[in-house]
Amino acid sequence: MPHTFSQHTKNKTHYRNPSISIVHLVICCLSLFTFPLPSASSLQVSVSPFTSIFTTRTVRTRLAFQNKSTPSSTSTSTSTTVIKSSIMDSIDKNLLSQLTNSANSYAAAKGLQVETKQTSSSNSSSSYQCAPISLLPNAFPAKSFHNAKSLAPHFNTLVDRISRDGDFLKDTLAGGEYSVISKDEYTKKLLELYESIYMNDGYEGDKSNFAKIADRLGIQRSDYMLNQNQNNSEDYELKQVELNTIAASFAGLAVNVAGLHRMLTQRYSKELKTLLDTNAMVVMGESYEPDTNTNIGVPTNPALDRIPLAMNVAHERYSSRFDNDSNSIDKAILFVVQEGETNTVDQRMLEFQLWTNHQIPVVRMSFTAAKDGLIMDDTTGALYTKNENGKVQYEVTVVYFRAGYAPTDYPDGYNGMEWQARELMERSRATKCPSLGYHLAGTKKVQQELARPGVLERFFTEEERKMPSDGGGGEDRMTQMRGAFAGLYSLGEDAMEEDLAAIKEAIADAEGSGRYVLKPQREGGGYNYYGDDLAKKIKDNISTSTSDNENENENGALVLGEDLAEFILMQRLFPPKQEAVLLRAGLVEGTGESISELGCFGTILQSYDASEEPIHNEYAGFLLRTKFSNVDEGGVASGFATLSSPYLC
Ligand code: ADP
Ligand code: MG
């Protein structure tokens, strides 16, 4: 039995399909090897393709397994109806069959796959199947895409600067009696480690602490949705959903989805014209006329070149900085991964590129294995991997975390072996991706705090703030960054008038609760509260003051319960709805209205010495995720969304 965390459904990289039945499993396995057209019997299965998809049908809105720790708002499966769509009629049955077959073949040929593991008492085996994908790309305004790309280096810089501001992180996460850390053990542990390693006397006071001489590598992904502009119903603005600073995944798979979509939209351009043009009008307005001269369709996705390149820059710099005490031990990059990981193809593509383009070996290791598999030299801070015989094998230049973002990645508890391993890595001189500071800068509480007037501005010089943005909007950089923020509100002790006003609106009625999302400090999809569940969660944890003592709350004022301190409240975004065909395990899961979320990767390498200019800082590729519009949650791995790409218009 794998570790408990491998069962965790909210995991960023575990593929689950709760609607899997034995029949479905058999079909999936068959499709893996032969990609057959489904037989008549498979059409009885709710996810089976072709004949039934143009008729009114039912799909499950919640596609991941249930989990005890999941809020009730997202743990129940409800059914909803996807209405027959006239636009989809432009794709006939044969064309759909051709497209689906091409997608499955392309997935096998190019590595657009996820691993599935079978474990029995005597052995375990793996097979690979087509990743959850949208069959075709989704229209996205070129202007907003460009804006997201140009924001990437600025968010990189922001994360680096926050990571060095211990007082800001402490105030934001631990300020007051009821703070995020008073309610969330996991964030508390991260902050405690951060304080003991980077604050206090750090390296000066503790000679076994080399973190302060380690460079910092960020491989980040800022996620955005288009949101209807309040002043103009035909116009959509780019709004940030969240900033992922740890284990930002899908660079590899996203590159191949873009390749598939480019191929299909070019190869079948005539057949798909009606669908693509109609979707383009949804995001560009009714009067949109596609311009065949400037229309570039699906852009090239550089993620598989740029992300390994950033790792190479970090690796090379480490090698040159610590050249003096170099020994004959080869150097490698360490990938810290989850046991039972299924998003391995995505990770392996980075590993293979590192070897092919840069001749850098990669060692994969789980946190649990790291406790015995790593050793640090107490005099230099060099981190080494050990082989099965306990002998030193490689010196680690960069530790790249694809695990560690959820409490379930540390099954041995808060003082257990996984946290000890994380601490050892952090204390070493190896470049961490991310360092603890980068990790904490990506928390949802920090995101909310940055939205307060003047807080984002603190992290940029006046000169930087005034620089013209290169997002195409003609505004300055600060306005561009702020313009991407949605409404974000605190439910903690630091709540201010505007926060309380938002909370009141969110619990007033169904319309009010529909305008917000309630989020705890978790990563990986599946934890948020929406609608009635959101209202209930808040109402269960607030009271109304009855005191009119002037030192206490005003009579009738909202009193927030301490349990709300770990949550933030966010304005709900409403992206344009487009027609899509979504595939899971290579089979058509359903067709209907969908919404999308754009992710923009950014990479940064910063010297340990903050006074130096960044060594590397750039946009590094994109990802689009698409889900049915009636699905609240996101996350491909957690079974809510599929991988897609933008069709620029
Ligand atoms: P996680 O760290 O779990 O990925 P997110 O903040 O990205 O947390 O939320 C998960 C998903 O919930 C998103 O991918 C998106 O689909 C949906 N979501 C989050 N915030 C909003 C919002 N403000 N409006 C609409 N949907 C949202
Ligand atoms: Mg997310």
214-247: per-residue pLDDT in tens?
A: 999 999 999 999 998 777 666 899 999 999 999 9
The pLDDT-based confidence of 131 (bands split at 50, 70, 90) is very high
E strand or H helix at 500: helix 497-508
**526 annotated to a ligand binding site:** yes
Q: How far is CA 390 from the centre of its chain?
A: 36
pLDDT at res. 87: 61
**What percentage of the chain has pLDDT greater than the value 70?**
82
Does the beta carbon of 184 lie inside 6 Å of ligand 1? no
Helix (H, G, I), strand (E, B) or coil at 575: coil
Residue bearing the CA closest to ligand 1, atom 12: 633
How many angstroms is it from 634 CA to the middle of ligand 2?
A: 6
The pLDDT-based confidence of 335 (bands split at 50, 70, 90) is very high
Does the beta carbon of 241 lie inside 6 Å of ligand 1? yes
Least confident of 49-53, 330-334, 402-406, 444-448: 49-53
Average pLDDT over residues 318-341: 89
More confident residue, 212 or 83: 212
How many angstroms is it from 147 CA to the middle of ligand 2?
A: 19
Mind giving me the DSSP string for 455-494?
TGGGGS-HHHHHSBPSSSSS-BHHHHHHHT---EEE-STT
pLDDT at res. 208: 78
Check: CB of residue 279 under 8 Å from CB of residue 139.
yes
**270 annotated to a ligand binding site:** no
E strand or H helix at 225: strand 216-228
Distance (Å, whole) CA 28 – CA 22: 10
Which of ligand 1's atoms lies nearest the C-alpha of 524?
3
Protein residues near ligand 2, an ion, with CB under 5 A: 242
Does the beta carbon of 634 lie inside 6 Å of ligand 1? yes
Q: Comparing C-alpha atoms, which of 190, 217, 185, 189 is closest to residue 440?
A: 190
Does the beta carbon of 517 lie inside 6 Å of ligand 1? yes
State the ligand closest to the CA atom of 631: 1
**Ligand 1 probe mutation, 517, 574, 596, most atoms within 8 A of CB:** 517
Distance (Å, whole) CA 65 – CA 290: 41
**Interval 434-470: pLDDT, tens:** 999 999 999 999 999 999 999 999 999 999 999 998 8
pLDDT at 51 over 60: no
Give, in order, the Cα–Cα distances in Å from 138 to each of 100, 278, 506, 581: 16, 11, 31, 10
State the ligand closest to the CA atom of 530: 1
Average pLDDT over residues 28-54: 28
How many angstroms is it from 143 CA to the middle of ligand 1?
A: 23
State the ligand closest to the CA atom of 569: 1
pLDDT at 204 over 80: no
pLDDT at 3 over 60: no
How many angstroms is it from 446 CA to the middle of ligand 2?
A: 15
Does the beta carbon of 633 lie inside 6 Å of ligand 1? yes
Does the beta carbon of 635 lie inside 6 Å of ligand 1? yes
Q: Comparing C-alpha atoms, which of 77, 72, 248, 231 is closest to residue 152?
A: 248
Cα four-point dihedral sign 283, 284, 287, 289: negative
Does the beta carbon of 528 lie inside 6 Å of ligand 1? yes
pLDDT at 337 over 90: yes
**415 annotated to a ligand binding site:** no
**What percentage of the chain has pLDDT greater than the value 90?**
71
Least confident of 42-56, 192-206, 297-311: 42-56
Does the beta carbon of 638 lie inside 6 Å of ligand 1? no
- For residue 91, how many other CB atoms are within 10 A of its CB? 23
Distance (Å, whole) CA 315 – CA 358: 10
**515 annotated to a ligand binding site:** no
E strand or H helix at 203: helix 202-205
How many angstroms is it from 573 CA to the middle of ligand 1?
A: 9
pLDDT at res. 554: 62
**Interval 133-175: pLDDT, tens:** 999 999 999 999 999 999 999 999 999 999 999 999 999 999 9
How many angstroms is it from 389 CA to the middle of ligand 2?
A: 40
Q: Comparing C-alpha atoms, which of 237, 300, 299 is closest to residue 473?
A: 237
Q: How long a stretch of residues is the chain?
A: 649
Ordered structural domains, the chain, with CATH: 110-451+587-649 (no CATH), 487-572 (3.30.1490.50)
Check: CB of residue 557 under 8 Å from CB of residue 544.
yes
Residue bearing the CA closest to ligand 1, atom 13: 634
pLDDT at 318 over 50: yes
553-590 b/e with 16+ CB inside 10 Å = b? beeeebebeeebbbbbbbbbbbbbbbbbbbbbbbbbbb
Which of ligand 1's atoms lies nearest the C-alpha of 526?
3
**123 annotated to a ligand binding site:** no
Does the beta carbon of 573 lie inside 6 Å of ligand 1? yes
Which of ligand 1's atoms lies nearest the C-alpha of 575?
25
How many angstroms is it from 53 CA to the middle of ligand 1?
A: 28
Which of ligand 1's atoms lies nearest the C-alpha of 631?
16
How many angstroms is it from 12 CA to the middle of ligand 2?
A: 9
Which of ligand 1's atoms lies nearest the C-alpha of 519?
6
Distance (Å, whole) CA 48 – CA 43: 5
Does the beta carbon of 519 lie inside 6 Å of ligand 1? yes
Residue bearing the CA closest to ligand 1, atom 19: 241
Which of ligand 1's atoms lies nearest the C-alpha of 595?
16
**530 annotated to a ligand binding site:** yes
Convert 145-178 into a string of H (helix), E (strand) and C (coil).
HHHHHHHHHHHHHHHHHHHCCHHHHHHHHHCCCC
Distance (Å, whole) CA 252 – CA 304: 6
Distance (Å, whole) CA 292 – CA 281: 15
How many angstroms is it from 222 CA to the middle of ligand 1?
A: 12
| Tokens 């080399």, residue located | 210
**Interval 500-517: pLDDT, tens:** 999 999 999 999 999 999
**Ligand 1 probe mutation, 238, 528, 630, most atoms within 8 A of CB:** 528
- Output the average pLDDT for the chain: 84
Least confident of 128-137, 325-334, 589-598: 325-334
Strand partners, 530: 517
How many angstroms is it from 525 CA to the middle of ligand 2?
A: 6
Least confident of 432-436, 440-444, 596-600, 607-611: 607-611
E strand or H helix at 319: helix 303-321
Give, in order, the Cα–Cα distances in Å from 515 to each of 489, 529, 531: 13, 12, 8
Check: CB of residue 514 under 8 Å from CB of residue 572.
yes
Residue bearing the CA closest to ligand 1, atom 20: 241
The pLDDT-based confidence of 2 (bands split at 50, 70, 90) is very low
Which of ligand 1's atoms lies nearest the C-alpha of 571?
23
pLDDT at 67 over 50: no
State the ligand closest to the CA atom of 527: 1
**483 annotated to a ligand binding site:** no
Does the beta carbon of 524 lie inside 6 Å of ligand 1? yes
The pLDDT-based confidence of 326 (bands split at 50, 70, 90) is low
State the ligand closest to the CA atom of 221: 2
Q: How far is CA 592 from the centre of its chain?
A: 24
**Encoded amino acid at 321, one letter:** R
pLDDT at res. 325: 62
pLDDT at res. 324: 67
Does the beta carbon of 599 lie inside 6 Å of ligand 1? no
| Tokens 């039995």, residue located | 1
pLDDT at 205 over 70: no
